Amino acid sequence: MDTTLNTNAIAFIGLCNEYCLTVEHARETELGEFIGAMLRLLPRLYIAASDLRTDMPGDEEGYIDSALDEDYYDAVRRNMETLIGSDDIYLEVFEEDMKYSDTPVSASISESLADIFQVLYNFISTIRDATDETVKVALNSVKEDFRSYWSATLCNVLRALNRLEMMQE
């Protein structure tokens, strides 16, 4: 079986790494620089994740172990929350509970970005020094996770970040 990764898979891995590094270094950047980086990375991640083709034979399902501990997740989230400040909260209009609620449902930019970070950090940790076969199984898993939940999170936080970017101009 051919175990080489296709170009899109390699590009996706690179984007995941770049996203994780950007999030991890958020406290060292200016707000405008951070927002700009997220607005460039998130659409590219969406496209690359949507286009993932892992060419796995059969229905092999993978599972990505959690490598990110809660303290590190919280630290990363808090750093972004501090950077974004009072603009961290946005109204979530696509929340399932919204149709039954008379009050707005809010979400946090920093928490949404940290949730995506968690998925991608775990993915990168899984594939570091792994065989091509393990990488392909992890790619299948991250693609399924993308379809199940983090694609919606990405789209929603992108809208909120876009609003912040336009307010700065």
Q: Summarize pLDDT for 16-45 with one digit per residue, the tens.
A: 999 999 999 999 999 999 999 999 999 999
Q: Which amino acid is at 153?
A: T
Interatomic CA distance for residues 55 and 60, integer angstroms: 11
Tell me whether residue 108 is in a domain.
Answer: yes
Looking at the 3D structure of the chain, how many domains does it have? 1
Q: What pLDDT does 59 receive? A: 46
Q: Which CATH number characterizes residue 94's domain? A: 1.20.120.1550
The H-assigned helical ranges of the chain are: 7-24, 31-50, 70-84, 109-127, 132-145, 151-168
Q: What pLDDT does 64 receive? A: 77
| C-alpha of 108 from chain center | 14
Tell me whether residue 59 is in a domain.
Answer: yes
Look up the domain containing 25 and give its range. Answer: 7-168
Tell me whether residue 34 is in a domain.
Answer: yes
Tell me whether residue 63 is in a domain.
Answer: yes
Between the alpha carbon of residue 5 and those of residues 20, 45, 58, 76, 121, the distances in Å are 21, 17, 17, 30, 20
Tell me whether residue 160 is in a domain.
Answer: yes
Q: What pLDDT does 91 receive? A: 85
Tell me whether residue 100 is in a domain.
Answer: yes
Tell me whether residue 135 is in a domain.
Answer: yes
Tell me whether residue 143 is in a domain.
Answer: yes
Residues of the chain with pLDDT under 70: 1-4, 54-63, 94-104, 169
